[in-house]
Structure formats: C-alpha cells, structure tokens
Amino acid sequence: MYRMRKPVVPLVVIVIIMLISLACGSSNEGAKVTPAAVEPTSESPAVSEDKKTQEPEPSETEAPQSAFEIFEVGDLVKVEDHTIRLNSVEYKGGTLVANFSIENNGDSDVSISSLMSFSAKKEDGTTLDQEIFDCAESGLDGKVLPGDKLRGGICWSGGSPDDGIKIYYQASLFGQGAVVWNAVEGVAEPLDTDTGSESNVEVFKVGDLVEVKDHTIRLNSIEYRGTTLAANFSVENHGDSDLSISSMMSFSAKKEDGTKLETEIFDCDTSGLDGSVLPGDRLRGSICWSAANPDDGIKIYYEASLFGEGAIVWETVAAVSEPEVNSDAELKVDIFKVGDVVQVNKHTIVLNSATIEGNVLKANFTIENQGDSDITVSSMLSFSARVRDGSGLERDIVNCGSSLDGDVLPSDKLKGDICWSGASAGAGIRIYYRADLVGQGAIVWTVE
C-alpha cells in the first residue's frame, strides 16, 4: 500500500467525537462475536487473590443462571480475529476505572471505540454514564493494525463495588452477542510475551521518504527531551488539490504494550504540523507526546485517511536526518508579489510592503470590500507564513503597527500590518491568505 521513497465541553465537540467513534466502531460491521476464554498460562497469570475484593456470601435465594459466560479480570478472551483482556478494575470514589488490552491477530485493521463498543450496567440493569473527559487513563479508541496492540482505560461514573456491575464489549454494533466481565476490583498484569500475532506492517526509520497516495512524508528527527518525545516531519503535496494535515487527528504514538501517549499541545516546537498544503507546496513541523521513555518501544502512526485502512509506522530511535530541499517546490497556483492587486471573491487584497528588520517580517496589506455584505478579517486565522522547507514562522503580535482585524463594510477598506518572527533574507519566505477557512486554495506572495 505504501512504498519507500519514502474541560463543561461544547456540544459540537461531543458531536464530533461521537461521529468519529461511530466511524471507528462500524469498521467491524458484520463480525460474529464468539468470545472464548484462553486458559491462563505462565505468560498470562490469573489475578492474584490478595488483589481481589472479598466476594459477598451467596444469598438464600440464588440468582438465575446467566445464559452467557461471564469473564473476570485477567481472562484473555478471543473475539474472532482479535483478543481482549480486562487488565484491572478499580473504584475511585464513585468512578469505575477499567483497563483493557486488545491485540489484533487478523489480517485487517480493527477499530475500537470506547464510547460505542463498551458499556457498564448495575445488577438491576441501570446503565452507568461513561466519563469521557475526566478519566485519567490512556484512551481506548483508535485503529489497531494487524499484529499490533492497543491498551487503555475507560471510566464510568455512578457506580460502587456493591452494585454488582458488569462491563460489556460489543465488537460489532450490528452483530449478536457481547463479551461480559464482572467488574470486581482486581489487577492482572498484561501479557509480557509475544502472543503469536505477527505484524506485516513495514516500520520506517528517521530519514525514510515515504510515498502516500498523492503526497510524501518524512520523519526528519526524533528527540527525547526528558519525558517528552518530539518528532519533526516534512510533508510535500504532489497532487492537484489541497492536502489537510492535522497533528491531533492523523498522528498518534503508542508504547510497545499498546498504551497511547498524550499529545503535548502547548509545550512543543514553534512550528506545528497543522494546516493545508497547496499543490506542489511543503509543510514542516513538530509533534510532541508526553510521558515518553526511549525504553518503551514507542512507535508513531500516521493515518492519511481517518476512514481508510492501514497507517504509516515509524520507530522512535533518537536520530536526526535533515530533509533534502534542493529547490523551491513547484507550486501549482499563482504566486504574487508586492503591489499586485488580487481579486478574491468580492474583495481585493494588496500586499503593500514586506520588510525584514532583525528577524521580524512585517507585511502591510490593504483589503477593499467590493461586495454587498460585510467581510470579517482575522490576521490570526487567515494569514500564515512559511520558509522554503515548509516550516512556519511564529506570529509576533507585539509592536506590529496597525492591526489587520475587524469587519470591512461594503465599499470600505481595511489597512494594517501582520508580523512574524524567525524570518531572514534568502529563506524563501511565502505569505499565505485564505479567505475561506474551509475551502480550497490560497493567495500566495513571495518575499524577496
């Protein structure tokens, strides 16, 4: 598939999460759930008795016999082409915390959704509410490649050890049956040895140029900064339409046992790896993850399509390999210069001047509204600047002249400045203006 060339939360956030979760859960559509316990071995120890809570004495009136098998913490359960194990159950106040491990033993991706595929109920049938945003656990959502693992926790509120809670896992939202566990407190260490699955996914290294459909991606460097893993990438668009890159949606990192690392958003490098890449253009930036250790066997994953199969996988051995940038990327869009009057929908924009003083690029623009309705201009959202290799310049909002933000009435004008730091002459700087944040294309100027 790939070849070498190498915290109350807004409603819209919840809707987006549910849509993504639905997409994840539906990838196992049609699968028949046939859970079966794998006998404990020396490599898969049962739960130690001293870590289980004391089970209550049976009542005089016995409960009806369950028609389905109920598993316990530590049981390794086979569900068609993957295995799932409840590693631990813990009650923290009124919150039930359950940690699972999943391993894909099949030949195609397995998509896991904690929200859509897992549930918990009390003995009387009352469903517990899942804690989505207040669960101090590595999440259990995402794609598991063939031969790969995913480990993480799910939390439910409103339960106690005396409620006779059971946890349910449905591998298929449209199939029959489910895997059921008793939510009795206990801890069983996950399997430490190979369970027989073998990954057929190619693992790349720092410096490899990987071709993915209509673009290439390269991991330029891996660096461990204390407990932070910093990875720098370059992406080049060889297609005929814009390429959207999202560090949060398309990239992930996992330890060898499948535990996902948390993306470090606010304490990473200046240039991030988010934005649109025009045809023939480049984007270079870094993504950081916390709680990382070089001995954790961490791998980084890139999914070019959130709803497709497969992923690009890299090992995370500390190394540096500078990308080969021998010439300007051949942009497949018009490139403008200082003084050009550019027509954009129902307004015009002119780059009046672009000067570099010290390491600060100061650009002055005029926007004129020729339409019948107001135009809203945002210097932060609509404008950006990058150097030749695709690295973004950092906005400098201090001492930068007149602002270029606000509404422009019909037949009115707005003139102001935007500044970026980290600039230097000869760096091949380009300035980008996107009038439509969700549309295709951009206006591009070169700064000589």
Q: Domains of the chain, with CATH numbers?
A: 7-40+68-187 (2.60.40.1240), 203-320 (2.60.40.1240), 335-447 (2.60.40.1240)
What pLDDT score was predicted for residue 245? 95
Instruction: With cut-offs at 50, 70 and 90, classify the pLDDT of residue 41.
Output: very low
Residue 15, H or E segment = helix 11-25
**Region 343-362: what's the mean pLDDT?**
95
Query: Tell me: the pLDDT tens digits for 120-168?
Result: 999 999 999 999 888 878 889 999 999 999 999 999 999 999 999 999 9
**Region 409-414: what's the mean pLDDT?**
97
- Cβ atoms of 106 and 82 within 8 Å: the answer is yes
Helices (runs of H) and strands (runs of E) counted in the chain:
4, 36
What pLDDT score was predicted for residue 37? 58
SS3 163: helix
What pLDDT score was predicted for residue 382? 94
Q: Is the pLDDT of residue 26 over 50?
A: no
At residue 61, what is the residue type?
Answer: T
What pLDDT score was predicted for residue 38? 58
Other Cβ atoms less than 10 A from the Cβ of 339: the count is 9
Q: What pTM value is reported for the model?
A: 0.81
Q: Tokens 């900064």 appear where?
A: 225
* Tokens standing for residue 88: 């631990």
CB-based burial of residue 188 (10 Å sphere; 0-12 exposed, 13-18 middle, 19+ buried)?
A: buried
Q: In what order do the strands lie in the sheet with 383-386?
A: 335-336, 443-447, 429-433, 383-386
At residue 76, what is the residue type?
Answer: L
Query: Tell me: the pLDDT tens digits for 88-114?
Result: 999 998 899 999 999 999 999 999 999
d(CA 160, CA 162) in angstroms, rounded, equals: 5
Query: Tell me: the pLDDT tens digits for 282-294?
Result: 999 999 999 999 9
Nearest to 28 by CA among 199, 172, 196, 178: 172
Residue 248, H or E segment = helix 247-250
Q: Is the pLDDT of residue 309 over 90?
A: no
Instruction: With cut-offs at 50, 70 and 90, classify the pLDDT of residue 63.
Output: very low
At residue 19, what is the residue type?
Answer: L
**Region 333-348: what's the mean pLDDT?**
94
d(CA 167, CA 188) in angstroms, rounded, equals: 16
Residues β-bridged to residue 186: 89
CB-based burial of residue 162 (10 Å sphere; 0-12 exposed, 13-18 middle, 19+ buried)?
A: exposed
Residue 25, H or E segment = helix 11-25
Q: Is the pLDDT of residue 42 over 80?
A: no
Lowest-confidence pick of 47-61, 247-261, 272-286: 47-61
Mean pLDDT across the chain: 85
Lowest-confidence pick of 42-56, 118-132, 335-349, 396-410: 42-56
- Cβ atoms of 327 and 312 within 8 Å: the answer is no
**Region 363-376: what's the mean pLDDT?**
96
**Region 29-38: what's the mean pLDDT?**
48
Share of the chain above pLDDT 70, in %: 81
Residues β-bridged to residue 134: none
How many Cα neighbours within 13 Å face the side chain of 7? 6
What pLDDT score was predicted for residue 4? 39
**Region 211-224: what's the mean pLDDT?**
95
d(CA 239, CA 342) in angstroms, rounded, equals: 25
Q: Is the pLDDT of residue 77 over 50?
A: yes
* Tokens standing for residue 325: 């940038």
SS3 429: strand
